[in-house]
């Protein structure tokens, strides 16, 4: 999973550029590393197991030593291919009882570890300390692989086939996505503990029970439907999803041994790739259908595969289902922080506007902590972020907002744009009121956009703010004037417009806003490694004056941040 969580974001930050590189090109390059393992069909099972495992282990250590760029891209890609080859060998050699335990437990432990270390994997952490657990885990993996012996009763191919789509669903819904909300980490520690317990106990318990009839597939489909309607699995519906998935894995692993388990595994990995690509490509391409249908199709595929096995209902599953009410209620009392905010004295405040590209820097490394530390060094009162990811599997399953807010010690307010887990946000400890997220018309552009409006208190003054990231800038910019709060107010974000664009000039004319950066050198903001144009802005209404404005050269995104010190009055 470490290799997958590095490869997918590397595709859109190193090999290509999301929104610029054609999705078809990205897809073909990514598909290569999922198609190459088909060559394992020509290998003896033990060669595939040992060879794939050895390359995967070496690749994991190499990933810890890389620092972005092409080495990160290709090491992660080769590691993913090697991992699939290893699983192919395991599918043909590992005994059915061991596989029925190892696969659900592996899925659970992967997500539990990911959450318990703050959803930033060891591979993204610098210094010597991350090497210690990395070496220990790699050594344990090598020892376990060396001890595998051919079994007379390998698990059915159904179990190995559903592993691929199960990896995608757990990556999408069992990570930070189940915990997102407003507030900062102290109020979310309770739900986090509940989530970890559910992921470990319920999934493992479901994997250890006997055949469970239709209840497992039914529970999974109910959980998938909740994810489809809400855009994510909420804490209250998480038990249904987890128990359903565990039940389906258990049913799929029951019955007589299969003869084509290796081929089934390879097919499931192709489903993992295809599902990931189609689901997330919908944010760059008009596919002609709701990408939520991909999630439903995956759920139906897993449930259908389970139901195709010989099954017998068990009363134990009904008892476990009744127990769902308990963890669901445990999660309910936890709520976001209700801190009303802390006003500041005086009539000046500092704003940072930053498109963080999901937290990935110019070399493709995850730099969330660096973003938070840098922003904290500027002592901001308001931080406005664009391209905030709260758990996309494509980007590695990180909650950017919670991580940055924890470093800054700030409250945050998220504004969904593309979906419930990707959009814009404001971080501030100032009193906030009149908070609204206005969806903007798409004008045929597949990536969603919104305008987040709110009011902050600065001393004795009330200042309106509009925070946005435009996707169809010429048309969407024309919709902003009616949403801008009354003066004094500011409009900030990645507008994808330069000061020379006619739409930008028209926006200033209709709103009465001014562009303060023109008086401070008119510094460009994009691309970060060689900036040539300014598309990120902080625009001010009458009643607001820029005391200072700058665009620091920091490497934490493909954009540069805009920092403005503003006086009210």
Dump pLDDT digits (tens) for 416-461.
Answer: 998 889 999 999 999 999 999 999 999 988 899 999 999 999 999 9
* Residue 191 in this model has a pLDDT that exceeds 60: no
Q: What pLDDT score does 246 carry?
A: 83
Cα–Cα distance measured from residue 111 to residue 84, given in angstroms and rounded to the nearest whole number: 19
Cα–Cα distance measured from residue 539 to residue 492, given in angstroms and rounded to the nearest whole number: 6
Q: What pLDDT score does 323 carry?
A: 39
How far is the CA of 402 from the CAs of 76, 125, 187, 202, in angstroms?
Answer: 26, 17, 12, 26
How confident is residue 194, by pLDDT bands cut at 50, 70 and 90?
Answer: low
Tokens of 100: 């029925």
DSSP H/E element including 463: strand 461-469
**Mind listing the pLDDT tens digit for each residue in 75-132?**
999 999 999 999 999 999 999 888 888 888 888 878 878 877 888 899 999 999 999 9
Q: What pLDDT score does 24 carry?
A: 80
Provide the β-strand partners of residue 438.
451
Q: What pLDDT score does 213 carry?
A: 59
Which residues, in sequence order, are CB contacts of 524 under 8 Å at separation 6+? Answer: 531, 532, 533, 534, 551, 560
* Residue 498 in this model has a pLDDT that exceeds 50: yes
DSSP H/E element including 262: helix 261-281
Which residues, in sequence order, are CB contacts of 343 under 8 Å at separation 6+? Answer: 430, 431, 457, 458, 459
How confident is residue 177, by pLDDT bands cut at 50, 70 and 90?
Answer: confident
Tell me if residue 447 falls in helix, strand or coil: coil
Question: DSSP characters for 3-14?
Answer: HHHHHHHHIIII
E-assigned strands of 296-449? 348-355, 382-389, 411-419, 422-428, 432-439
pLDDT greater at residue 301 or residue 325: 301
* Residue 53 in this model has a pLDDT that exceeds 70: yes
Q: What pLDDT score does 450 carry?
A: 97
* Residue 534 in this model has a pLDDT that exceeds 70: yes
DSSP at 201 = I
* Residue 282 in this model has a pLDDT that exceeds 80: yes
Q: What pLDDT score does 315 carry?
A: 42
pLDDT greater at residue 102 or residue 62: 62
Tokens of 403: 């991580």
Cα–Cα distance measured from residue 412 to residue 397, given in angstroms and rounded to the nearest whole number: 19
How confident is residue 211, by pLDDT bands cut at 50, 70 and 90?
Answer: very low
Tokens of 460: 């004795």
Q: What pLDDT score does 107 carry?
A: 85
Answer whether 241's CB lies under 8 Å from 220's CB.
Answer: yes
How confident is residue 485, by pLDDT bands cut at 50, 70 and 90?
Answer: very high
Q: Which of 449, 504, 491 is nearest to 472 (CA)?
A: 449
Give the full edge-to-edge strand order of the sheet including 432-439: 432-439, 450-458, 461-469, 489-494, 536-540
Cα–Cα distance measured from residue 383 to residue 95, given in angstroms and rounded to the nearest whole number: 53
DSSP at 537 = E
What are the boundaries of each domain within the chain? 2-331, 348-568
Cα–Cα distance measured from residue 189 to residue 363, given in angstroms and rounded to the nearest whole number: 32
CATH number of 2-331: 1.20.1250
Task: Name the average pLDDT for the chain.
Answer: 87
Q: Which of 276, 370, 354, 358 is nearest to 67 (CA)?
A: 370
- Tracing tokens 């009539």 back to the chain, one arrives at 347
Length of the chain: 569
How confident is residue 330, by pLDDT bands cut at 50, 70 and 90?
Answer: very low
Tokens of 272: 């993992």
Question: DSSP characters for 478-535?
Answer: GGSTTTSPSSSEEEEEE-S--TTSHHHHHHHHHH--B-GGGGGT----BSTTS--B--
CA angle 234, 242, 52 (to 5 degrees): 120
Tokens of 52: 């794939």
Answer whether 561's CB lies under 8 Å from 542's CB.
Answer: no
Q: Which of 253, 256, 217, 259 is nearest to 105 (CA)?
A: 253
Answer whether 61's CB lies under 8 Å from 132's CB.
Answer: no
Q: Which of 14-28, 134-148, 172-186 has the lowest mean pLDDT?
A: 172-186
Q: What pLDDT score does 33 carry?
A: 97
Q: Which of 16, 151, 23, 115 is nearest to 73 (CA)?
A: 16
Fold of 348-568: Deoxyribonuclease I; Chain A (3.60.10)
How confident is residue 27, by pLDDT bands cut at 50, 70 and 90?
Answer: confident
Q: What pLDDT score does 454 carry?
A: 98
* Residue 195 in this model has a pLDDT that exceeds 60: no
């Amino acid at each position: 999973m470490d290799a997958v969580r590095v490869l997918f974001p590397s595709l859109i930050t190193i090999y290509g550029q999301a929104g610029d590189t054609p999705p078809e090109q990205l897809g073909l390059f990514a598909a290569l590393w999922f198609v190459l393992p088909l060559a394992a069909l020509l290998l003896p099972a033990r060669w595939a197991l040992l060879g794939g495992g050895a390359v995967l282990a070496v690749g994991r250590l190499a990933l810890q030593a890389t620092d972005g760029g092409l080495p990160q891209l290709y090491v992660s890609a080769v590691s993913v291919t090697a991992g699939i080859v290893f699983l192919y060998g395991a599918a043909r050699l590992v005994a059915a009882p061991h596989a029925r335990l190892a696969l659900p437990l592996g899925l659970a432990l992967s997500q539990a570890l990911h959450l318990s270390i703050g959803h930033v994997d060891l591979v993204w952490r610098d210094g010597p300390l991350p090497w210690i657990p990395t070496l220990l885990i790699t050594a344990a993996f090598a020892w376990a692989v060396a001890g595998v012996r051919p079994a007379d009763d390998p698990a059915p191919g159904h179990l190995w086939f559903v592993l691929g789509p199960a990896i995608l669903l757990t990556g999408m819904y069992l990570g930070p996505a189940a915990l997102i909300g407003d507030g900062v980490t102290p109020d979310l520690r309770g739900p986090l503990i509940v989530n970890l317990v559910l992921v470990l106990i319920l999934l493992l318990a479901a994997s250890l029970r006997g055949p469970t009839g239709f209840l497992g597939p039914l529970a999974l489909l109910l959980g998938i439907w909740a994810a489809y309607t809400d855009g994510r699995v909420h804490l209250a519906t998480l038990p249904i999803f987890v128990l359903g998935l565990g039940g389906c894995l258990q049913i799929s692993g029951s019955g007589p041994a299969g003869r084509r388990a290796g081929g089934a595994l390879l097919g499931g990995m192709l489903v993992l790739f295809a599902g990931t690509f189609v689901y997330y490509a919908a944010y760059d391409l008009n596919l002609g259908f709701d990408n939520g249908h991909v999630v439903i199709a995956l759920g139906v595929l897993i449930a259908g595969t389970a139901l195709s096995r010989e099954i017998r209902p068990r009363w134990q599953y009904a008892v476990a289902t009744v127990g769902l009410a308990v963890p669901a209620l445990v999660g309910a009392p936890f709520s976001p922080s209700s801190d009303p905010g802390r006003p500041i004295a005086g009539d000046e405040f500092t704003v940072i506007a930053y498109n963080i590209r999901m937290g990935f820097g110019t070399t493709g490394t995850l730099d969330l902590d660096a973003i938070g530390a840098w922003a904290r060094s500027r002592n901001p009162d308001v931080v406005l972020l664009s391209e905030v990811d709260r758990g996309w599997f494509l980007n590695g399953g990180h909650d950017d907002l919670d991580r940055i807010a924890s470093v800054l010690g700030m409250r945050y307010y998220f504004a969904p744009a593309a979906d419930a887990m990707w959009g814009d946000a404001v971080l501030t400890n100032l009193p906030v009121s009149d908070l609204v997220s206005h969806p903007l018309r798409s004008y045929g552009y597949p990536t969603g956009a919104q305008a987040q409006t709110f009011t902050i208190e600065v001393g004795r003054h009330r200042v309106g703010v509009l925070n946005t990231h435009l996707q169809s800038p010429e048309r969407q910019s024309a919709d902003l004037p009616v949403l801008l709060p009354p003066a004094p107010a500011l409009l900030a974000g990645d507008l994808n417009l330069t000061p020379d664009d006619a739409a930008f000039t028209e926006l200033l004319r209709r709103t009465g806003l001014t562009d303060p950066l023109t008086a401070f050198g008119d510094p460009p903001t994009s691309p970060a490694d060689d900036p040539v144009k300014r598309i990120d802005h902080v625009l001010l209404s009458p009643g607001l004056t820029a005391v200072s404005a700058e665009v620091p050269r920091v490497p934490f995104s493909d954009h540069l941040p805009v920092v403005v010190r503003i006086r009210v009055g």
